[in-house]
């Protein structure tokens, strides 16, 4: 039987694993599989990315180039050639699933990958989608490509969905130690998927269908989006009541059950939280349902960049200054702490509003030395140095992402005005209050 042959190849690690899409998910995945001893073929449409990897250079901050070089030395190759799909025993798809400008799912990358690879499907292969998507995608979108090739899913071809759970910058967990959820189109499909992923991931969590596995990933990110949306709304309420939301959340977090702390910020970023929930919203419409928590969280989180700017305008106004013409430094522009990832970063929205209002905008972020090319955003800026003198030269410093490599004590001492959207300076501020020193240069926003 095809399944037995497949399992044998996985067991002796002769199975070749193809990774389709070499980005924030595909590269760490390729690395983990390679480390487990399998031959790995990386496939991407981006020739520059392919050449870079084959030359032993890493395009991702937290994967060092020497790791990529070690992979290239044996059992790893990157290619633009989708006909090499036929060489692979397992085909793992890790391409982006963004939203279009109407917040509808854009499965363009999944579809074009399927179109490019499916002519080379053969008996005995496993196909697994890792990209986040709406429940039913594997069944309704991927399956027809396989069946069109005359293959029989569950008998001579295996189809799974297994969502990626990468968390760049997380020091406690990596691809191998994060449990992996798998749903199969049939029980044999799931067994094939469990065998492959179980070879390099510590814990496999099998669920009853590909749809269930697709829903799991959405629920994880919906949970985050809604909880962040909630604390962002509470931040606005707390501010009106002259309360510090960060103090309140820290105290609530001392409850040893029934509470998990989420912290507000200038909005949400990254490729997951601002996007994934709307995949469920879109699919739910087919069933006449409205996902109200998702919509509310999206709306409130999207309003936060403007809120941070509003607080800046108010604080400058108190000092007799307009935002127009003011020198403003944005501190931290990557979407979260200690990463270089700018995707959907709320800092960019803050910077755009500041620019629209006529501010003279600069930024500091050692993770992002030069403002990158982005599809929707354009700034001709590089990270400025952070010194006592440079800090003092700005009318306002907006703390947007609290990277750990910044000297916040220096920021607090030398900035004329800090708009702290992360609560990072709160502890220092409290210490000043206790010492009866003035810290009226810090505004929580």
Query: Edge-to-edge strand order for the sheet containing 396-399?
Result: 360-364, 327-331, 396-399, 418-420, 442-444
Q: Which of 66, 208, 318, 382 binds a copy of itself (CB under 8 A)?
A: 208
Per the CB < 8 A criterion, the answer to whether 383 and 405 are in contact is no
Closest separation between CB of residue 229 and a copy of itself, Å? 7
Closest separation between CB of residue 74 and a copy of itself, Å? 31
Please say which residue, 87 or 220, places its beta carbon nearer to a copy of itself: 220
Give yes or no for residue 355 binding a copy of itself (CB under 8 A): no
Query: Coil, strand, or helix at residue 108?
Result: helix
Cα distances from 131 to residues 98, 164, 215, 271, in angstroms, run 10, 7, 12, 11
Closest separation between CB of residue 430 and a copy of itself, Å? 8
Per annotation, catalytic residue among 88, 160, 189, 272: 272
Closest separation between CB of residue 258 and a copy of itself, Å? 6
Q: Which of 51, 55, 86, 251 binds a copy of itself (CB under 8 A)?
A: 251
Give yes or no for residue 233 binding a copy of itself (CB under 8 A): yes
Whether 272 is catalytic is yes
Cα distances from 138 to residues 119, 165, 198, in angstroms, run 18, 18, 21
Closest separation between CB of residue 218 and a copy of itself, Å? 9
Cα distances from 235 to residues 105, 242, 367, 376, in angstroms, run 30, 10, 28, 28
Closest by alpha carbon to 349, among 394, 396, 398?
Answer: 398
220 HSE (CA, 13 A, CB side): 16
Residues 187 and 172: their CA atoms lie apart, in Å, by: 32
Closest separation between CB of residue 187 and a copy of itself, Å? 10
Please say which residue, 36 or 178, places its beta carbon nearer to a copy of itself: 178
Please say which residue, 119 or 173, places its beta carbon nearer to a copy of itself: 173
Residue corresponding to tokens 């305008």:
313
Q: Which of 257, 435, 436, 437 binds a copy of itself (CB under 8 A)?
A: 257
Give yes or no for residue 373 binding a copy of itself (CB under 8 A): no
Please say which residue, 101 or 290, places its beta carbon nearer to a copy of itself: 290
What are the two backbone dihedrals, phi and then psi, of residue 250, each rounded to the nearest 5 degrees?
A: -60, -40
Give yes or no for residue 437 binding a copy of itself (CB under 8 A): no
Please say which residue, 273 or 361, places its beta carbon nearer to a copy of itself: 273
By CB under 8 A, how many residues form the interface with a copy of itself?
65
Please say which residue, 112 or 208, places its beta carbon nearer to a copy of itself: 208
Beta strands of 155-284 (E only): which ranges?
Answer: 157-161, 180-184, 204-207
**H helix or E strand, kind and range, residue 284:** helix 277-285
Residues 425 and 402: their CA atoms lie apart, in Å, by: 10
Tokens, residue 361: 């905008």
Q: Which of 99, 178, 302, 381 binds a copy of itself (CB under 8 A)?
A: 178
The mark string for 130-169 relative to a copy of itself (x by CB under 8 A, - otherwise) is: -----xx----------------------------x-x--
Q: Which residues contact 396 (CB under 8 A, 6 or more apart)?
A: 312, 315, 316, 326, 327, 328, 329, 415, 416, 417, 418, 419
Give yes or no for residue 302 binding a copy of itself (CB under 8 A): no
Per the CB < 8 A criterion, the answer to whether 218 and 277 are in contact is yes
Closest separation between CB of residue 148 and a copy of itself, Å? 25
Q: Which of 226, 417, 418, 442 binds a copy of itself (CB under 8 A)?
A: 226
Please say which residue, 207 or 419, places its beta carbon nearer to a copy of itself: 207
Residues 388 and 376: their CA atoms lie apart, in Å, by: 33
Q: Which of 58, 137, 162, 291 binds a copy of itself (CB under 8 A)?
A: 291
Residues of the shown chain interacting with a copy of itself in the complex, contacts defined by CB under 8 A: 135-136, 165, 167, 170, 172-173, 177-179, 181, 203, 205, 207-209, 211-213, 215-217, 219-220, 222-224, 226-227, 229-230, 233-234, 236-238, 240-244, 247-249, 251-252, 254-260, 280, 283-284, 287-289, 291-293, 296, 300, 430
Residues classed as catalytic? 272
């Amino acid at each position: 039987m095809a399944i037995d042959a497949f399992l044998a190849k996985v067991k002796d690690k002769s199975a070749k694993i193809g990774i389709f899409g070499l980005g924030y998910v595909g590269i760490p995945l390729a690395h983990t599989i390679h480390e487990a001893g399998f031959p790995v073929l990386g496939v991407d449409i981006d020739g520059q990315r392919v050449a870079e990897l084959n030359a032993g250079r890493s395009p991702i901050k937290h994967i060092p180039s020497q790791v990529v070089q070690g992979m290239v030395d044996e059992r790893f190759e990157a290619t633009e050639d989708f006909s090499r799909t036929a060489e692979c025993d397992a085909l793992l798809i890790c391409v982006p699933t963004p939203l279009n400008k109407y917040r509808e799912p854009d499965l363009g990358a999944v579809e074009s990958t399927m179109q490019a690879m499916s002519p080379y499907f053969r008996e005995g292969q496993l196909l697994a989608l890792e990209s986040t998507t709406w429940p039913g995608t594997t069944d309704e979108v991927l399956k027809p490509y396989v069946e069109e090739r005359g293959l029989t899913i569950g008998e001579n071809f295996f189809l799974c969905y297994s969502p990626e759970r990468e968390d760049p910058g997380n020091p406690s967990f990596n691809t191998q130690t994060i449990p992996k959820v798998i749903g199969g189109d049939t029980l044999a499909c799931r067994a094939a998927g469990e065998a492959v992923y179980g070879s390099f991931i510590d814990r496999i969590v099998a669920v009853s269908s590909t749809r269930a596995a697709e829903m799991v990933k959405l629920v994880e990110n919906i949970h985050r989006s809604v909880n962040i949306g909630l604390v962002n709304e509470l931040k606005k309420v707390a501010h009106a009541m002259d309360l510090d939301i960060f103090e309140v959340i820290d105290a609530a977090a001392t409850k040893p059950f029934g509470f998990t702390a989420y912290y507000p910020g200038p909005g949400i970023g990254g490729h997951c939280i601002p996007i994934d929930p709307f995949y469920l919203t879109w699919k739910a419409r087919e069933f006449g349902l409205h996902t109200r928590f998702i919509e509310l969280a999206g709306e409130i989180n999207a309003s936060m960049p403007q809120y941070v700017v509003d607080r800046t305008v108010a604080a400058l106004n108190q000092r007799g200054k307009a935002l127009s013409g003011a020198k403003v430094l944005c501190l931290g522009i990557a979407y979260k702490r200690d990463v270089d990832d700018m995707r959907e970063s709320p800092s960019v929205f803050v910077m755009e509003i500041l620019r629209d209002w006529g501010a003279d905008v600069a930024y500091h972020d050692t993770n992002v030395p030069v403002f990158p090319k982005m599809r929707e955003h354009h700034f001709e800026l590089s990270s400025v140095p952070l010194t006592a003198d440079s800090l003092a030269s700005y009318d306002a410093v907006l703390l947007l992402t609290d990277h750990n490599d910044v000297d916040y004590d220096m920021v607090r001492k030398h900035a004329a005005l800090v708009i702290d959207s992360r609560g990072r300076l709160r502890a220092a501020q409290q210490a000043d209050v206790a010492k009866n020193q003035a810290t009226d240069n810090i505004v929580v926003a």
